Chain A
Amino acid sequence: MFLTLFVGIYHSSTRKFTYANGGHNPPYWISDELRCLDDSKGMAVGIFEEETYEEREVELHDGDTVFLYTDGVNEAVSRDREFFGLTRLEHILEENRQEQCVETVLEAVNCSYAYGQVRGSVDIFMNISDRISIEFCDSGREFNPLEDMVDVEQYDIDKQVGGLGRRIAFDLADEVHYAYLNENNILTLIFKEERI
């Protein structure tokens, strides 16, 4: 029926980040201050033919972060039916400007999905050599994201809801591994050099 899409291209030689938004949650740009990249407002993709999408551009600086997310973050619901919300997300991004922001957001959001009554942790390890390897490690309940994957060829966009994000992310990777070890979910995505 429709999907939402944010597309951004980072040009490493000019440090320009060019982007367009098709109805997706606008990402945050964490620099000397926290800004929302909400100046490109396009329609969700797949609804009308011949939609046009306006391109925008910012110049990134050393240490800047562009934080992308889906409505799974702001619409995560706690047990007492309270939304995680954008205010809480912005607060975490303000407090954890740099490398820890993704882990902290995941920990906070996971409280409503994976941890039950206890607090848990999320660690993300990234290793860059001739390949990029990203390992997500969380102490939530056992969940294998490789199970129940949607089949893109068979996907009926008018009948099915959700499941494409995971599929797209895993298809972009060259290798995806999952293990449940010592009460931790460990998900590893590997991108080889020719993809980088």
Chain B
Amino acid sequence: MNTARAITPAAAPVNERNQYLSFALGDDEYAIDILRVQEILCICPITPLPQTPHHVRGVMNLRGAVVPVVDMRAALGLNSEEYGKFTVIMVLSVHERTIGFVVDRVSDVLSFDASAIERSPDLGGRVDASVVSGIARTQDRFVVMLDLERLIGADVGVGVA
């Protein structure tokens, strides 16, 4: 894994630097709060469900628990891609539920100063900015922080999209 320049020694106080897990959809990089991450799995058989929104691909067996699987591309309104060998499922907790999210690949654990994150950025009118909680810029990166609670409604429907 290539180390992001933003990563610094662990001595940094926790309250100012937060850790994030970054993942990729195509060439774009996104990140979510690392405390949400329960585990990361290879793509596994997904059983489709009737009468579910398009982005909910179905459910999977997570060691005996039935967990819904959300296609992150579909949830964000991006083009869908065939699942390949890097495709992974990030198992996250959102709304006190356990939900799997399919992403193209998981890249890094990033650590940012709170001040390095630009809150409520102006994204122009073309995208709904409310699912973006901030943008972190370093010299070689441009990472979109997602607000999963807003992206995924309490019933795992897409809240905003």
Chain B associates with chain A: no
Chain A contacts to B: CB under 8 angstroms: none
Which residues of B does A touch, CB under 8 Å?
none
